[in-house]
Amino acid sequence: MLFVILLTILIVLCSIVLHFKFTNSKYWKKKNIIQIKDLTFTFLFNKQSMPELIKSIYDKHDEPYIGTTSATIPTLIIKNLDDIQAVLAGDFQSFYSRGIITSPNDVLADNLLLMDDFKKWKLIRQKLTPIFTSAKLKNMFYIIEKSARDFVELVEDNVHLRKKPFKLMTRYTTASISAAVFGIDTQVKNSMESPLVDMAFKALEPSVYAIIVTIIANTFPKLHKLLKLKTFGGQEDFFVGMVKKVLDSRRHDPTKRHDFIEICLELQKHGVMQDFTTGYELEPTDELMAAQAFAFYLAGTDTSANTMNYTLLELSNNPKILRKVHEEIDKVFEGGVEELSYNDIDKLQYLDEVINEALRKYPPIGFMQRMCTKDTVLPSGLPVSKDEIIIVPLYGIHKDKQYFSDPDVFDPERFSAENVSKIKNYFYLPFGEGNRVCIGVRFARLQVKAGLAWLLRRFTLVEQNNCVPEFEKSPFGLRSPDAHYEFKLRDI
């Protein structure tokens, strides 16, 4: 019933938005900036993903910025790298907001690192950043490594699952994050089969309801607040309930597990969190900890699965590169090694180059969005007004031949020790950049490399002739769940 009501409201809002659209049709022209059709409506009635659409605009126009609207909001696509640096880092105080509207009653969304409240975001990020230090991740690596071994066992034992490789990758990333958050489930033999994984997997499936709520929130925030809508309402009971249950049981268990729950318990043990530079205080409640656990899933499950998916697809297209990857992995496993160590992962330098190139060619998040929080001027001299949205066309930059020669060619050598220094800051942004750079980038790399190392130790890929993925109509990422490649057991 609620879905029908929301759909009806959305239709009414679309009619209202059309009015605003035509009202703002000359917003950027009045500033002597080229203005194109509304981005939101072009996306809704187009087959492309939003990153593809923004890239097509990037490619079509030579101007350093292109004006448009996102429903009712004036929006600017910027191309100048100095301007991009200012938005993401140099003038962070003017662009700290992602422009994503949340409601105070939305336990998960309003406490995520995506939140708009600067003081709250800053404090939570300060407290969570130590989770991803090298020392912490080294202690946590046994969880990732076991998940990777269990993953390969699952692939070996279930031939039918290999027919849907993206779903396999998503299962691995969901399971490894579940283990990193809640610890290894000792009640199951294989971490891929934990009931927690199935529940989390279902909870994270894309929702039409969530998309509608997001559109309403970012188009008419006052109505969103009045209706008390929740972006992740369907997931709230599960995640908050699960975290509360685990926190309660672990408070009486002294065993060191080096997982996320252990970090949460440490934060709660120290009491009220405080930012001494601003004086802002926040209670580390179970609900707040649950939101951070959910953020772990939300930010890492799909993005890492996409990275593995595209890496494997490109390796199936490039047998010479695949052979070189196999040789490096086999060398790490020499002498009958049955477990990978944290230091072993660091030895996989060529695999790292291959993953970096996959992230360049298929960035999981195809663009970044920021909202201007106060009037400012970009380095190029362009004035930007409060509440205007700025879009950084990440996918367009990654495929721009002035930054990467032959951008459609899969070439890991771009990231070799000899060449990587040529890639300047803000040419390459798979994890973002600046103050809001992805907090979990180190964990993501360990997760992806361990999974691929074990997988490509046991399996190779059947060669195919330049299979090009088709992207689904996603509002944020470059997803290709139907991309196909075939696994074949290796004789080792």
Q: What is the pLDDT of residues 317-336, one digit of tens each?
A: 999 999 999 999 999 999 87
pLDDT given at position 231 = 76
Q: In whole angstroms, how far apart are CA 348 and each of 352, 361, 363, 423, 452?
A: 6, 20, 21, 21, 11
Would you say 438 is a known binding-site residue?
yes
Report which of 453, 456, 388, 344 is spatially closest to residue 94, judged by C-alpha positions: 388
pTM of the model: 0.92
Q: How many domains does the chain have?
A: 1
Report d(CA 153, CA 172) in Å as an integer.
11
pLDDT given at position 13 = 61
- What pLDDT, in 10s, does the model give residues 423-460? 988 999 999 888 888 888 999 999 999 999 999 999 99
pLDDT given at position 407 = 96
Helix residue ranges per DSSP H, 94-232:
118-128, 134-157, 165-182, 195-203, 208-219, 221-227
* Structural domain boundaries enclosing 75: 2-489
We report the CATH number of the domain holding residue 483 as 1.10.630.10
Q: Which residues of the chain have pLDDT under 70?
A: 1-24, 113-114, 186-187, 195-196, 199-208, 210-211, 214-215, 218-221
pLDDT given at position 98 = 87
Radius of gyration of the chain (CA): 23
CA atoms within 13 A on the CB side of 130: 10
